Structure 1
Amino acid sequence: MLDANLKAQMNAYMERIDQPVELVASLDDGAKSQELLELLREIEGMSAKISLRTDGDDARVPSFSINRPDGSVSLRFAGIPMGHEFTSLVLALLQVGGYPPKVSDDTIAQIKALTGDYQFETYFSLSCQNCPDIVQALNLMAVLNPRVKHVAIDGALFQDEVEARQVMAVPSVYLNGEQFHQGRASLEEFIAKLDTGAAARDAEAMNAKDAFDVLVVGGGPAGAAAAIYAARKGIRTGVAAERFGGQVLDTLAIENFISVPETEGPKLATALEQHVRAYDVDIMNVQRATKVIPAGADGLHQVQFESGATLKTKALVLATGARWREVNVPGEQEYRGRGVAYCPHCDGPLFKGKKVAVIGGGNSGIEAAIDLAGIVEHVTVLEFDKVLRADAVLQKKLASLPNVTVHTSAQTTEITGDGQRVNGLVFKDRNDDREHKVELAGVFVQIGLVPNTDFLKDTVALSRHGEIEIDARGQTSVPGIFAAGDVTTTPYKQIVIAMGGGATAALSAFDHLIRSSVSE
Structure 2
Amino acid sequence: MLDANIKTQLKAYLDKVTQPIEIVASVDSGDKSREVLSLLDDLKGLSPLISVQQRDDDDQRKPSFALNSPGKNIGIRFAGIPMGHEFTSLVLALLQVGGHPPKAEAEVIEQIRGIEGEFNFETYISLSCHNCPEVVQALNLMSAINPNIRHTMIDGSLFQDEVNERRIMAVPTIFLNGQEFGHGRMGVKEILNKIDTGAIAKEAQKLSEKAPYDVLIVGGGPAGASAAIYSARKGIRTGLVADRFGGQVMDTMAIENFISVKETDGPKLAASLEEHVKSYDVDIMNLQRAASLMPAASHDGLMEVRLESGAVLRSKSVIVSTGARWRKINVPGEQEYRGRGVAYCPHCDGPLFKGKSVAVIGGGNSGVEAAIDLAGIVKDVTLLEFNGELRADAVLQKKLFSLPNVTVITGAQTSEINGDGEKVNGITYTNRQTGESHRVDLAAVFIQIGLVPNTDWIKDTVALSKFGEIEVDAKGQTSVPGVFAAGDVTTVPFKQIIIAMGEGSKAALGAFEHLIRS
Q: TM-score range by the shorter chain?
A: over 0.9
Which runs of no fewer than 5 residues in structure 1 stay unpaired? none
Verify the 8 A CA contact 1:468 1:483 in the aligned structure 2.
yes
> For 1:54, what is the secondary structure of its paired residue?
strand
**Which one of 308, 313, 322 corresponds to residue 310 of structure 2?**
308
Partner of 1:121: 122
Query: Equivalents in 2 of 1:354, 1:462: separation in Å?
Result: 42
Verify the 8 A CA contact 1:186 1:243 in the aligned structure 2.
no
Partner of 2:144: 143
Partner of 2:82: 81
Query: Equivalents in 2 of 1:27, 1:33: separation in Å?
Result: 5
**Which one of 477, 480, 484 corresponds to residue 479 of structure 2?**
477
Kindly provide the amino acid, as one letter, of the partner of residue 290 in structure 1. A
**CA displacement, residues 152-172 of structure 1 (integer Å, 9 cap, x when unaligned):** 000011111111111110000
Please give the TM-score of this superposition, normalised by the length of structure 1: 0.98
Partner of 1:49: 49
Partner of 1:335: 337
Please give the TM-score of this superposition, normalised by the length of structure 2: 0.98
Verify the 8 A CA contact 1:40 1:52 in the aligned structure 2.
yes
Partner of 1:237: 238
> For 1:61, what is the secondary structure of its paired residue?
coil
> For 2:55, what is the secondary structure of its paired residue?
coil
Partner of 2:386: 384
**CA displacement, residues 185-209 of structure 1 (integer Å, 9 cap, x when unaligned):** 1211101001121110111011111
Partner of 1:487: 489
Aligned-pair distance for 1:58? 4.3
Partner of 1:190: 191
The 5 A counterparts of 1:250-261 are 250-261=251-262
**CA displacement, residues 308-367 of structure 1 (integer Å, 9 cap, x when unaligned):** 011010110100000000010000000000000000000000000100000000000000
The 5 A counterparts of 1:432-447 are 432-447=434-449
Kindly provide the amino acid, as one letter, of the partner of residue 272 in structure 2. A
**CA displacement, residues 375-432 of structure 1 (integer Å, 9 cap, x when unaligned):** 1111000000110000111100110111111110100000010000001110000001
Number of positions where the alignment pairs a residue of Structure 1 with one of Structure 2: 516
Query: Equivalents in 2 of 1:50, 1:437: separation in Å?
Result: 56
Query: Equivalents in 1 of 2:101, 2:487: separation in Å?
Result: 35
For the pair 1:11 / 2:7, whether they are aligned, the reply is no
Kindly provide the amino acid, as one letter, of the partner of residue 325 in structure 1. R
Kindly provide the amino acid, as one letter, of the partner of residue 502 in structure 1. G
Partner of 2:356: 354
**Which one of 392, 398, 414 corresponds to residue 416 of structure 2?**
414
Query: Equivalents in 1 of 2:71, 2:263: separation in Å?
Result: 43
Of 1-10 and 420-429, deviating more is 1-10
> For 1:123, what is the secondary structure of its paired residue?
strand
Q: Cα gap change, 1:4/1:290 in structure 2, threshold over 3 Å: closer, same or farther?
A: same
Query: Equivalents in 1 of 2:353, 2:91: separation in Å?
Result: 28
Partner of 2:294: 293
Partner of 1:132: 133
Aligned-pair distance for 1:71? 2.9
Aligned-pair distance for 1:494? 0.8
The 5 A counterparts of 1:260-299 are 260-297=261-298, 298-299=300-301
Aligned-pair distance for 1:5? 2.4
**CA displacement, residues 14-73 of structure 1 (integer Å, 9 cap, x when unaligned):** 111111111111112211111111111111111111111112634311111111121331
Verify the 8 A CA contact 1:171 1:182 in the aligned structure 2.
yes
Query: Equivalents in 1 of 2:52, 2:259: separation in Å?
Result: 44
Partner of 1:228: 229
Query: Equivalents in 1 of 2:266, 2:33: separation in Å?
Result: 31
Verify the 8 A CA contact 1:188 1:285 in the aligned structure 2.
no
The 5 A counterparts of 1:164-175 are 164-175=165-176
Q: Which runs of 4+ in 1 moved over 2 A?
A: 55-59
RMSD over equivalenced CA pairs, Å: 0.9
Kindly provide the amino acid, as one letter, of the partner of residue 51 in structure 1. S
Which runs of no fewer than 5 residues in structure 2 stay unpaired? none
Kindly provide the amino acid, as one letter, of the partner of residue 325 in structure 2. R
Query: Equivalents in 2 of 1:100, 1:319: separation in Å?
Result: 35
